[in-house]
Structure 1
Amino acid sequence: MEKETARIEAFSDGVFAIAVTLLVLELHVPAFDVGKKPAMLLTELKAEWPGYIAFVISFFSIFIIWVNHHKVFKQIYRRDTGLMFANGLVLFLVSLVSYPSALLARFYLSESKQVSVTIYTGLFLLINIAFNLLWYQAVKGKDLLRPGINEQAIKQLRDNFLYGFPTYLAAFIISFFFPDAAILICILLWVFWAISSKKINFTDKTHHPNPK
């Protein structure tokens, strides 16, 4: 079967690249007068630590989303309108990541910390919902999938994304009361996805017998 999704994947990769680039723009040089003591510059840089943390967390979250997006589209060979719109929703939400990251960097040390974390976790909850929709569109008729993909791999991918929903929902709810714990939950979920995605076997051995 000829793969029909090359243009979708190329466009998606471009959006992911732009989303990561936008994160860098939120790293600001401290307002520091030339000629002052170097120690004062170090103090100013240390004061910006929420921005550095927000950048690192957001960068690796987008990276892990891209990795999973890549794995999903390795299993999709055909396209339809529903799939393209579901993928567009994922890309739209990913392109917004820089904004809540900027809010997190600016307000994490203020009285508005809880609001910034709630917006941040809420966006990733929406991204997870969009990913579930994307995979649902891909597998609902199985006409779009790569020949030879096994049922176990389909189920594992589905479960990976479904596990994310209650976890992100919990992080979103907890963010109203314990913002630090909510951020930690998001980080642990990204670690889980990074590890679990390596364990998925996409090959249906019944279609590829051992020649020996």
Structure 2
Amino acid sequence: MEKETVRIEGFSDAVFAIAVTLLVLDLHLPEEHLIKNGNDLFIFMKSQWPVFLAFILSFFSIFIMWVNHHKIFKQIYSRNSAIMFANGLILFLVSAVSYPTALLARYFNGEASSMVVAMYTGIFVLINFAYNLLWFLASRNKKLLRPGITDAAIKKIRNNYLYGFPIYLIALIFSFWIPAVSLMIILGLWIFWALSSGKIEMSINESE
């Protein structure tokens, strides 16, 4: 079967690349007149830790989303309108990550920390939902998938994304009371996605 999703994947890769690039815009140099020596620079850098934290979290989150997007489309060979719109939803949300990242960088240290962390966590809840939707729409018709893919492989991929959804919801709930714990859960999740994506691929290859 000829793969019909090449243009979708190429366009998606471009959107992911732009989304990552936009994150860099929040990293600002200090005003030249404020930095007179190394100690001033160190104090400035220290004060910017929420900016660096937001950048690191968002960069690796988008990167791992791109990795998982790539792995999903290794299994999807044909496309229909539903798949294209579900993929569009993912790209829309990914391109919007830079805004809550900017809010997190600016207000995490202040009284609005719970709200900005909730907004930041909330967009990842929506992104996880969009990934689940994409795989549901693709896998309900096996003819759209890679020839030879087994039912067990389809189920493993589905479960991999389903497990993340309640954890993202827990992170969202924690953001209103203990924002730092919410970010730690997000950090733990992208470590989970990084590890599980490789294991899922290995288990699929072994089962076929």
In which range does the TM-score fall when normalised by the shorter chain? over 0.9
Cα distance in 2 for partners of 1:35, 1:142 equals 61
Unaligned runs of 5+ in 2: none
1:150/1:99 CA distance change after superposition, 3 Å:
same
Q: Is the CA contact 1:174–1:182 (under 8 Å) kept in the aligned structure 2?
A: yes
Deviates more, 1:91-100 or 1:36-45: 36-45
Report the identity percentage: 58
1:130/1:35 CA distance change after superposition, 3 Å:
closer
CA root-mean-square deviation: 1.3
SS in 1 for 2:144: coil
- 2:41 matches 1:77: no
Query: How far did residue 41 of structure 1 move?
Result: 1.9
Query: How far did residue 30 of structure 1 move?
Result: 1.8
Query: How far did residue 34 of structure 1 move?
Result: 6.4
Larger-gyration structure (1/2): 1
Partner of 1:209: none
SS in 2 for 1:69: helix
Give the helix-richer structure, 1 or 2. Answer: 2
1:169/1:71 CA distance change after superposition, 3 Å:
same
Q: Is the CA contact 2:34–2:40 (under 8 Å) kept in the aligned structure 1?
A: no
Partner of 2:41: 41
Q: Match for 1:172: what amino acid?
A: L
Give the length in aligned residue pairs: 206
Partner of 1:202: 204
Cα distance in 1 for partners of 2:126, 2:17 equals 20
Query: How far did residue 169 of structure 1 move?
Result: 0.6
Query: How far did residue 192 of structure 1 move?
Result: 1.1
Cα distance in 1 for partners of 2:33, 2:100 equals 29
Partner of 2:87: 87
Cα distance in 2 for partners of 1:186, 1:60 equals 11
Query: How far did residue 49 of structure 1 move?
Result: 0.9
Q: Is the CA contact 1:117–1:179 (under 8 Å) kept in the aligned structure 2?
A: yes
Q: Match for 2:137: what amino acid?
A: Q
Partner of 1:190: 190
1:156-189: CA deviations, max 9, x gaps? 1101110111000111111111101111111111
Report the TM-score when normalising by structure 2.
Answer: 0.95
Unaligned runs of 5+ in 1: 207-212
1:106/1:34 CA distance change after superposition, 3 Å:
closer
Cα distance in 2 for partners of 1:66, 1:72 equals 10
Query: How far did residue 37 of structure 1 move?
Result: 2.6
Cα distance in 1 for partners of 2:206, 2:134 equals 22
